[in-house]
Amino acid sequence: MTAPSPAPIVVAVDMGYGHLRAATALADALGTEVLKVDRAPVAGPDEERLWQRVRRGYEAISRLSQVPVAGRPLAWALDSITDIPRLHPRRDLSAPTRGVRALERLARGDLGAGLVARLRAEGAPLLTTFYSPAVIADRAGIERVYCVATDTDLNRIWAPLEPARTRIQYLVPTRRAARRLLAYGVPANRITFTGFPIPDALLGGPSLPVLRRNLAARLVRLDPTGEFRRSMPEELAVFLGALPREEEGRPAQLTFAVGGAGAQAAMADAFLPGLRPALESGAMRLALVAGTRPEVEARFREAVRRAGVEPLLGGAVEILRAPSFGEYYARFNALLARTDVLWTKPSELTFYGALGLPLVLAPPVGVHERYNRRWARESGAGLKQRDARFAAEWLSDWLADGLLAAAAWAGYMRLPKFGLYRVLEALGRTPAANVAP
């Protein structure tokens, strides 16, 4: 009897929530845990200090780049770091960039040495949601390396110095990301389109029972005038069945989520005063998501106090902040299940439009997020935010016109929903017992 192959080692880097969010969904489905390669015990002391410097620098640039006028030089610097050249006209983009060469120099040293040693000792495949562990493992001769991309388009640094010779199997969330890797010189047989790994808790398995149930209720709350539902009754009935009448008249849940670096938290000061009447009357509910950052929670609480809606905390207004990423991840997923409108920068959460969540997209932070925003808008799932000071007015108009309901439907119909299950299929694995088959 052949012994079962070892489960993949799932790794990520704490460089924003996107990589951790994707890795956690996959680790849960595989019944394992996420290893952070930038932390002990996988990283040695010198390597951990290097990652800390990189992380602090990136987070500082991300936050300060959002400061009006004074932040423009840092915004330009961030664009330079995250730059992705135009894909058209089609041409060879395989030449290594400065970032690729810098990673190669670090790989010649001890960067990733602890991870490589563990992979060799256990003989397990590597499944990573960040480029550097994949590139380093590939360079060290590790055979089974799977890299899950977490943006709609990719910087050259995702591919190694000599892309044509790579062993990495790329699992990409969009067709454009696949075309980009081809332009970088990665062989076609090393690229698989899967979609982004959305958590099973929000899907309910490949037949999507949880997603469909949440979407059916959401469409009723998002369409108070019935404008959208009257436009396509047959389609809604075929895909979702009868919509729940008990949701009629219930307030829409708006969720405002900032990124892991805390960029754009200051926008709450702009939109909260205008939202106060809708929140006080019960016409809308609001969740402010601070992630794991106490300083962002404090900023939100101060904005709530200044806007005069502090008495609504615990009712129409809530603030989500958790002490660890694991707790935040679980609580945020539960919040998304009852969210009707997701207002966020176009990070990895752009892919969550596939749940039938209309996306109100804040200004992008970095070139990769510009591509994410364009992808969502071209699919009909995302709407560019207007002036935050008047959010109550344009959100009210979008609800009355059925525009948010239409964006929810477009996201459900057009964006890839099965990424989690397709990644598991590519790995030759079945979900863990606690994940729907």
pLDDT tens digits along 272-328: 999 999 999 999 999 999 999 999 999 999 999 999 999 999 999 999 999 999 999
Look at residue 1 in the predicted model and tell me its pLDDT: 45
Query: What single-letter DSSP state applies at residue 313?
Result: B
**Residue 43, pLDDT score:** 75
Tokens representing 353?
Answer: 């439009």
The alpha helices in 123-259, defined as continuous H runs, are: 131-139, 175-183, 209-222, 227-231, 233-240
Q: Which of 85-99, 115-129, 252-266, 337-351 has the lowest mean pLDDT?
A: 252-266
Query: Which CATH code for domain 9-37+83-199+419-427?
Result: 3.40.50
Cα separations in angstroms, 257 against 11, 14, 55, 248: 24, 18, 20, 26
Phi, psi of 167 (to 5 degrees): -100, -5
Query: Would 9-37+83-199+419-427 and 207-414 be classified into the same CATH topology?
Result: yes
Per-residue pLDDT, 156? 96
Query: Over 70: is that where the pLDDT of 89 sits?
Result: yes
Per-residue pLDDT, 134: 97
Angstrom distance (rounded) from CA 409 to CA 420: 21
Tokens of 72: 């423009």
- Model confidence at 428, pLDDT cuts 50, 70, 90, reads very high
Strand partners, 226: none
- In this prediction, residue 121 has a pLDDT band, given cuts at 50, 70 and 90, of very high
φ, ψ of residue 201 in degrees (nearest 5): -60, -25
Of 55 and 202, more confident: 202
Q: In what order do the strands lie in the sheet with 252-257?
A: 317-321, 284-291, 252-257, 341-344, 359-361, 382-384
Per-residue pLDDT of 6-41, as tens digits, reads: 889 999 988 779 899 999 999 999 999 999 988 878
H or E, element range at 319: strand 317-321
Q: For 403-416, what is each residue's pLDDT tens digit?
A: 999 999 999 999 99
d(CA 107, CA 112): 7
Strands 284-291 and 317-321: parallel
154-197 pLDDT per residue, tens = 999 999 999 999 999 999 999 999 999 999 999 999 999 999 99
3-class SS at 226? coil
Phi-psi region of 241 (alpha: psi -120 to 50; beta: other; left: phi over 0): left
Q: Where are the beta strands (DSSP E) in 40-159?
A: 126-128, 145-148
Angle of helix 45-64 relative to helix 72-81, nearest 10 degrees? Answer: 130
Side chain identity at 349, as an amino acid letter?
L
Q: Distance between CA atoms of 239 and 212, rounded to whole angstroms?
A: 8
| Averaged pLDDT, 115-142 | 95
CATH architecture type of domain 207-414:
3-Layer(aba) Sandwich (3.40)
Check residues 104 and 70 and name the one with the higher pLDDT.
104
Work out the average pLDDT over 89-117. 90
Is there a contact between 44 and 114 (Cβ–Cβ < 8 Å)?
yes
Q: Where are the domains of the chain?
A: 9-37+83-199+419-427, 207-414
CA distance linking residue 290 with residue 300, whole number of Å:
8
DSSP string of 321-336, one letter each residue: E-SSHHHHHHHHHHHH
